[in-house]
Amino acid sequence: MKIIWDKPIDVSLLINENMLFWPNDPKFHREWVSKISEGKNANLSKIVMGSHTGTHIDTPYHFLEDGKTLEKIDINKFWGLAKVFLIKNEKKIMLDDIISSPISEGDIILFKTKNSLLLRENKFHEDYVGLSLESAKYLVSKKIKSVGIDYLSIGPRGDEGREVHRTLLREEIGIIEGLDLLNVEEGLYFIVALPLKIEGGEGSPVRAILFPVEE
């Protein structure tokens, strides 16, 4: 097995004021504090945005009152070998869609769906593909390390989606959301998606990078 370090694939969403946001989340806003063009010594900006902006991770505290926050989570959840699976179901990731996939204990699993096309639109789609509760329970039983998806939530819209989060986060399974997988093929990769170390934080944007792996 060989990791191709010189061929990184950036699977992070571009953060700007026109990007896709979860409904009612704080939108990205940048204010320039100083600019060289205005006679200042340096360019410096102030950034305001929700902690789940763009490509990001969730911590257990996001959905569990007694869950771990950013400075307490196991950082190893967000780097390592990752398996990308293409899901053709356009409604939801059901157990039948993944039961025959080679998923093993300690895996990082990334799901590529029709969402990869939806991310190209600056419009929130209610019918994005999320992980079913049954599938989430299956991944817990497999004792995976982390799971990622190509939309702003790992679970579908509504109560089921919230319970999907709780099911995964109770077991401290890492969640990576908003991955840009449009140009990524199924297969084995090495992922790095490290969050900021914010005290008390329930989530953080990440710069997610995949490196191809030759077996």
Tokens 């989570």 belong to residue? 73
Domain 2-14+51-214 has CATH 3.50.30.50: yes
Q: Per DSSP, what are the bridge partners of residue 175?
A: 58, 147
CA 92 to chain centre: 17
> For the segment 101-122, what is each residue's pLDDT rounded down to a tens digit?
999 999 999 999 999 999 988 8
| 83-to-48, 141, 177, 212 alpha-carbon distances in Å | 33, 17, 15, 11
The confidence band for 95, taking pLDDT boundaries of 50, 70 and 90, is: very high
Q: Are 93 and 87 in contact (CB under 8 A)?
A: yes
pTM score, two decimals? 0.95
| Domain residue ranges in the chain | 2-14+51-214
